């Protein structure tokens, strides 16, 4: 029956989306028009070129990236995947891109903590080129961390770009961003204005349609992060293979404790950012700005004339919408809750997991399309559910508690830590 419904009515198997949002707003067309008019007037009045039109967004990066699917023996009742159950240890990364397809750097890595000791190697390591470390109590973006981002990234990027293009030092820059509370702080808006940066806010409920980072960048970035993690595990496995040749009794063991994984996070982030710097991605980002970002419409003369008529105010006067954009789940705790309850999202220092799984390359492809349609599983194609042979030995249940996985489970190994 399931197969008939899927094929007859074209209801394919889908992964759950990260944002459980309702349909587009009832006043979507009016919001879209206002957004276009503000962008059109800012571009025309200040002659803003593509490299100075920037969109930024925050996204989470897990210490142990996970995928939704893996391979297992037919009939297996319990399937374990690396990373499942370890989603909380993570950081926030702010990604920026310009309308010409360039990535805006340096990229901040915001860790959860109150001092520099929450940074990799307890604050003693130097960030890789193109990155800098920051922290907040809950690892979320805050007004203070966003002020740092403006100072270290946006202002320096604007100055470099103006120098490269030979523009007037007072040249304006347009910053397109969502309605996160840290973006609307009074100190943030004052700093942007004093540095000739015009913030234009995407209306609430419209970021999935018109925010470039949501449409094309974040997914490609996270695919690159996951591939970096896969390379990390593969390198450990190669080391184990070489050791096993000398000692056949050794067992491949993984240690995903926070103290072990945190120093690797910058490498994963660098892999994700590099995935955005390919020629294909640059072209795709520039095209997305023109189409989903509505620059094609905003640059038309007739659009500008509508903007002049409709907008009685000066475009330099920042108008912050009263609406609040729905937050994406970056760790399960809102910033305000974390501040009040002291709930700091950070990994425990000794939390290894030991499942070994093979990632499917199809799930890690860097396609710029956001189409997550999945092929039907063998059960649906055959029209019958898998049945476990009564004579087949049943996999024992997983005991409750940390680090108590049975050694007989497929893909598990004996408890222990890998030491390099």
Q: pLDDT tens digit string along 254-272?
A: 888 888 889 999 999 999 9
The lowest-confidence range among 87-101, 142-156, 202-216, 239-253 is 239-253
Q: Determine how β-strand 197-201 pairs with β-strand 90-98.
A: unpaired
Average pLDDT over residues 239-257: 79
Q: Would you say 256 and 64 are in contact if contact means Cβ atoms under 8 Å apart?
A: yes
Tokens representing 233?
A: 């595990």
Mean of all residue pLDDT scores within the chain: 77
> CA-to-CA distance for 268 and 122, rounded, in angstroms?
18
The lowest-confidence range among 35-49, 56-70, 147-161 is 56-70
Residue spans of alpha helices (H) in 195-278: 207-210, 212, 218-246, 258-261, 265-274
Task: Say what the pLDDT of residue 49 is.
Answer: 97
What is the per-residue pLDDT across 9-44, written as a single tens digit (0 to 9) for each? 666 666 555 555 557 888 999 999 999 999 999 999
Task: Say what the pLDDT of residue 291 is.
Answer: 95
Residue 405 Cα distances to 255, 395, 400, angstroms? 14, 12, 9
How far is CA 136 from its chain centroid? 18
Q: Would you say 397 and 80 are in contact if contact means Cβ atoms under 8 Å apart?
A: no
User: What is the SS3 assignment for 282?
Assistant: helix
Q: Is 158 left (phi over 0), alpha (psi -120 to 50) or beta?
A: alpha
Q: Would you say 137 and 344 are in contact if contact means Cβ atoms under 8 Å apart?
A: yes
User: What is the SS3 assignment for 308?
Assistant: helix
Confidence at 249, pLDDT banded by 50, 70, 90: confident
128-133 LR contacts (CB < 8 Å, sep 24+): 128/266, 128/267, 128/270, 130/105, 130/106, 130/270, 130/273, 131/105, 131/106, 131/107, 131/266, 131/269, 131/270, 132/106, 132/107, 132/108, 133/108, 133/109
Q: Residue 175: is its pLDDT beyond 50?
A: yes
Task: Say what the pLDDT of residue 223 is.
Answer: 93
> CA-to-CA distance for 321 and 179, rounded, in angstroms?
8
Q: Tell me how far apart the 2 most distant CA atoms of the chain are, in Å.
A: 80
Average pLDDT over residues 389-394: 45
What is the per-residue pLDDT across 61-99, written as a single tens digit (0 to 9) for each? 988 877 667 778 888 888 777 666 556 778 999 999 999
Question: Which position has the token pair 């009742």?
Answer: 77
Average pLDDT over residues 133-159: 96
Terminal Cα distance for the chain, rounded: 52
Tokens representing 48?
A: 């803003």
What is the per-residue pLDDT across 294-338, written as a single tens digit (0 to 9) for each? 999 999 999 999 999 998 654 445 566 666 555 444 444 444 333
- Provide φ and ψ at 326, rounded to 5°: -60, 135
Task: Say what the pLDDT of residue 14 is.
Answer: 62
Tokens representing 24?
A: 């587009």
Q: Residue 166: is its pLDDT beyond 90?
A: yes
Task: Say what the pLDDT of residue 94 is.
Answer: 97
Confidence at 152, pLDDT banded by 50, 70, 90: very high
β-pair partners for 90? 62
Task: Say what the pLDDT of residue 195 is.
Answer: 97
User: What is the SS3 assignment for 241?
Assistant: helix
Q: In this predicted model, which residue has the larger pLDDT, 16 or 386? A: 16
What is the per-residue pLDDT across 205-223, written as a single tens digit (0 to 9) for each? 999 999 999 999 999 999 9
């Amino acid at each position: 029956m399931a197969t008939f419904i899927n094929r007859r009515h074209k209801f394919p198997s889908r992964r759950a989306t990260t944002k459980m949002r309702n349909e587009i707003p009832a006043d979507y067309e009016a919001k879209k028009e206002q957004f276009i008019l503000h962008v059109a007037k800012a571009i025309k009045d200040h002659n803003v070129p593509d490299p100075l039109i920037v969109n930024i967004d925050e996204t989470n990066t897990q210490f142990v990236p996970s995928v939704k699917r893996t391979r297992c023996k037919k009939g297996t009742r319990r399937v374990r995947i690396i990373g499942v159950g370890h989603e909380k240890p993570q950081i926030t990364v702010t990604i920026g891109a310009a309308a010409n397809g360039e990535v805006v750097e340096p990229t901040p890595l915001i860790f959860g903590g109150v001092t520099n000791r929450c940074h990799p190697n307890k604050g003693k390591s130097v960030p890789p080129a193109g990155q800098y470390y920051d922290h907040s109590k809950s690892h979320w973006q805050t007004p203070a961390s966003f002020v740092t981002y403006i100072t270290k990234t946006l202002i320096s990027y604007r100055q470099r770009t103006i120098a490269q293009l030979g523009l007037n030092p007072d040249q304006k820059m347009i910053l397109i961003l969502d309605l996160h509370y840290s973006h609307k702080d009074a100190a943030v808006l004052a700093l942007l204005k004093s540095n000739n940066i015009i913030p234009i806010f995407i209306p609430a409920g419209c970021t999935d349609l018109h925010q470039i980072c949501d449409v094309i960048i974040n997914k490609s970035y996270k695919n690159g992060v996951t591939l970096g993690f896969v390379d990390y595990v593969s390198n450990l496995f190669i080391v184990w293979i070489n050791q096993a040749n000398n000692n056949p009794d050794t067992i491949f063991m993984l240690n995903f404790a926070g103290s072990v994984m945190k120093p690797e996070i910058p490498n994963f982030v660098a892999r994700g950012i590099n995935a955005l710097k390919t020629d294909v991605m640059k072209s795709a980002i520039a095209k997305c700005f023109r189409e989903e970002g509505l620059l094609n419409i905003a640059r038309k003369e007739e659009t500008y004339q509508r903007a002049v008529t409709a907008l009685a105010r000066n475009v330099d006067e920042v108008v912050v919408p009263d609406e609040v954009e729905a937050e994406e789940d970056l760790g399960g705790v809102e910033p305000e809750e974390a501040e009040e309850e002291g709930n700091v999202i950070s990994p425990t220092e000794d939390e290894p997991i030991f499942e070994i799984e093979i990632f499917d390359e199809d799930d890690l492809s860097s396609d710029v399309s956001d189409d997550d349609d999945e092929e039907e599983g063998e059960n649906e194609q055959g029209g019958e559910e898998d049945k476990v042979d009564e004579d087949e030995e049943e996999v024992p249940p997983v005991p409750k508690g940390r680090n108590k996985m049975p050694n007989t489970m497929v893909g598990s190994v004996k408890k222990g830590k890998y030491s390099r």
